[in-house]
Amino acid sequence: MPPGPIDYGSLIRDGLRSVMARALAHTVEQGLYGEQHFYISFVTDHSGVVMPDWLRAQFPEEITIVLQHEYEDLAVMADRFSVELSFGGQPAVLVVPFAAVRSFKDPSVGFQIDIPPGDDAPASVAEPGLPVPVEAAEPPEPEEPPGDPADRVVSLDAFRKK
């Protein structure tokens, strides 16, 4: 992160995207429970969004998709998800960067997040084309530096006014 003030807006957007990514990853592993379903609205002209030209022509700015009964091949990567849906009987594979998503709703439990637009990119970005499980995108546990813990203790006495 470059020096400067903390960009709380970016941190919040990343946090909201993480909630959505984890919900989608859970769905990949467990499936949807009962009447659970998702409405996902995203900006169609965002860089990285992959969708058929005929569908983009119908929805040049934004689209809301529904993941419920008829979706296939849902995959979640560190910075995006992909899914195959049918639009008027015509199949379409969509690849959606999390940064393009504007809202995620699960009406079955009354859950909704709205992600405000921003200039930021998600904190974790996978290599293009390589699926990365969401768990792999999380920061690794900090390693203990070598040496005795007592060697890392700094006495504040040296900094106190006498």
Lowest average pLDDT, out of 53-57, 118-122, 127-131, goes to 127-131
Q: What is the tens place of the pLDDT at every residue in 72-124?
A: 899 999 889 999 998 888 899 999 999 999 999 999 999 999 988 776 444 44
pLDDT of 33: 86
pLDDT of 64: 93
Quick one: pLDDT band at residue 70, thresholds 50, 70, 90? confident
pLDDT of 93: 93
Instruction: Please name the fold of domain 8-139.
Output: SH3 type barrels. (2.30.30)
What percent of the chain clears pLDDT 70, i.e. is strictly above it? 72
Burial 19-36, CB ≥16 within 10 A → b, else e: ebbebbbebeeeebeeeb
Contact residues for 42 (Cβ-Cβ < 8 A; gap 6+): 49, 62, 63, 65, 96, 100, 101, 102
pLDDT of 57: 92
Domain ranges for the chain, please list them.
Answer: 8-139
Q: Give the residue carrying structure tokens 């768990």.
A: 135
- What is the overall mean pLDDT for the chain? 77
- Comparing C-alpha atoms, which of 111, 94, 124, 102 is closest to residue 18? 124
Quick one: pLDDT band at residue 50, thresholds 50, 70, 90? very high
pLDDT of 162: 55
∠ at Cα 91 (65, 68), nearest 5°? 40
Does 8 have pLDDT greater than 80? yes
pTM: 0.69
pLDDT of 148: 54
Does 125 have pLDDT greater than 70? no
Quick one: pLDDT band at residue 155, thresholds 50, 70, 90? very low
